[in-house]
Amino acid sequence: MKKIIYIKILFIILFLGCKKNQLGGKSTISGVIKHHTKTIASATVFIKFNAKDLPGTDTTLFDTKVRADADGNYIIKCYKGNYFLYAYGYDSQVVTNNGRVTGGSAVSVRNNEKVIIDLGVTE
């Protein structure tokens, strides 16, 4: 009987200890949102967990989002895993699409890793 209890406890510890593909860990993904060389202030970065490909441009398909600061910098605290980042912002110098610029990239993160990836956006 004790053996079964120990196995259950071990299973619970392993299951809870192996967080993946979610926010809040000790790893970080950070960078700058850029349209060519111009930084895009206050852009939104949509995050899809456990993804290596763009799930589509419908932002309701993403799991969460973060906002870049006034200098276009963003930071995401996460656990190891695969994420797809999709940035959405505005460039006042772009005349098409009402100035809207978008772009994205897949990111793979290991435990306690700091990944720096600038997200390029285009009209």
Q: How far apart are CA 11 and CA 67, in angstroms?
A: 37
Look up the domain containing 55 and give its range.
21-120
Domain count, the chain: 1
In a domain, 14, yes or no: no
In a domain, 12, yes or no: no
In a domain, 48, yes or no: yes
Residue of 16 and 58 predicted with greater confidence: 58
Q: What percent of the chain has pLDDT over 70?
A: 85
Q: What value does the mean pLDDT of the chain take?
A: 89
In a domain, 67, yes or no: yes
109 has a pLDDT exceeding 50: yes
- Which of 2-6, 17-21, 46-50 is predicted least confidently? 2-6
Residue of 4 and 51 predicted with greater confidence: 51
7 has a pLDDT exceeding 80: no
Instruction: Please tell me whether the overall predicted TM-score, pTM, comes out greater than 0.95 for this model.
Output: no
For the chain, where are the E strands, in sequence order?
Answer: 23-35, 38-39, 44-49, 64-67, 73-78, 81-90, 100-109, 114-116, 119-120
